[in-house]
Structure 1
């Protein structure tokens, strides 16, 4: 697995401040912290393959045999390699505890194709989901394995660093129905939806729509 870029907290603060200030001036999507044209002549698969932050994701797509699906008329809320790295680290920790062997590792080769296929399809939605169709109210969509997810607009920046009226997109894994708004303090933890900001949104590829889930999201929605 390729090494991933790591930014200092201060560096991220400066980067996000620049991005969000730009967003206040122009409603556009972000790619790695820069305002960019939202159309590409590449397919969704080829766009991801051209970006080193998705090297491991491409390996998983190939292993699951999902290239054709990713390149169909779908919206793909793609996890980054960093999200996959967090997942493998979590599985490694659990495996080491179960086997009492600190040297054992859970790797990409440990992933079984059927489980991997369904897990990747959890990020895939038929048709095009774009921010112009969304509001602050969560809108529910079915993913390719029939699970309920929601997309919506949210206020503010990443990690509370900066928030000044900027509307970002978020994806929500719905658990036992959408959480009430506001959510009561005593709401059971096991029923709480899992929400993540999309760090890149609205890339219109030759075949579909691509969004990118924030890096601290753990692949498989763990």
Structure 2
């Protein structure tokens, strides 16, 4: 997990986390970062409707609609959702690429520019059959195959960043894209960057919707794992 650099922001974040973690002794299912809330708070909504009612997922919902995948999202699946910020990063990268290709800074890449089949594969890459929940995970690496046949590691990771506040490490859910076989542990100093797996932290985990399980990747996640 990336550490906040400014000291004031760091301590402010620690205090916020402290207030959220106060209820951690009572529940252990639905986490925002490393903290729990009621996992059944949105159980009356399908996964698609949960995303649609939250403005953080406006762009993702548009992608799902364009791909014609509402029914798939509402199937018995676990979905790792990307926020608008994450998808915007990809669109910005695509925009720069086509501007360079055509030497025209006025060209813009938009959602309509994505081929439908690419959209479907990209969204399915964040989908897993059945329920993938924290209670079935541990600190050990577990490999799951997504709905396009790619292998990902889903596990819990611990941080001691708040050891001055809590007696036990805080556990986060982590999703890792395997690039060229699992990285060795420990990682050699000269291990090529191009072969390194790409890991990201889940900012909200364990949302049990009416139709499946929803986890939310942090805003800094780069949609479809662009480096």
Partner of 1:29: 30
Shift of 1:19: 2.6
Asked if the contact 1:15–1:33 (Cα under 8 Å) also holds between the matched residues in 2, the reply is: no
Where 2:39 maps in the other structure, the secondary structure is: coil
Partner of 2:123: 120
Where 2:173 maps in the other structure, the secondary structure is: strand
Query: CA 1:20/1:84 → structure 2, altered by over 3 Å: closer, same or farther?
Result: farther
Asked if the contact 1:16–1:33 (Cα under 8 Å) also holds between the matched residues in 2, the reply is: no
Find 2:112's aligned residue among 109, 112, 116: 109
Asked if the contact 1:95–1:104 (Cα under 8 Å) also holds between the matched residues in 2, the reply is: yes
Shift of 1:133: 1.0
Asked if the contact 2:139–2:156 (Cα under 8 Å) also holds between the matched residues in 1, the reply is: yes
Partner of 1:133: 136
TM (normalized to structure 1)? Answer: 0.87
Shift of 1:15: 4.4
Partner of 1:58: 61
1:172 aligns with 2:170: no
Structure showing greater Rg: 2
Mapping 1:1-222, distance limit 5 Å: 14-15=12-13, 17-19=15-17, 22-23=20-21, 25-26=23-24, 27-31=28-32, 35-39=36-40, 40-156=43-159, 162-164=161-163, 165-222=169-226
Q: Distance in 2 between matches of 1:13 and 1:107?
A: 39
Moved over 2 A (4+): 9-17, 19-25, 27-36
Query: CA 1:168/1:62 → structure 2, altered by over 3 Å: closer, same or farther?
Result: same
Asked if the contact 1:75–1:127 (Cα under 8 Å) also holds between the matched residues in 2, the reply is: yes
Q: Which runs of 5+ in 1 are unaligned?
A: 1-8
Give the number of equivalent residue pairs: 210
Q: Distance in 1 between matches of 2:114 and 2:120?
A: 10
Q: Distance in 1 between matches of 2:101 and 2:61?
A: 30
Where 1:18 maps in the other structure, the secondary structure is: helix
Q: Which runs of 5+ in 2 are unaligned?
A: 1-5, 164-168
Shift of 1:28: 4.8
Q: Distance in 1 between matches of 2:36 and 2:123?
A: 27
Deviations 1:182-211 (A, max 9, x none): 111111111110000000000011110000
Q: Distance in 2 between matches of 1:93 and 1:147?
A: 28
CA RMSD of aligned residues (A): 2.1
Shift of 1:143: 0.3
Asked if the contact 1:155–1:163 (Cα under 8 Å) also holds between the matched residues in 2, the reply is: no
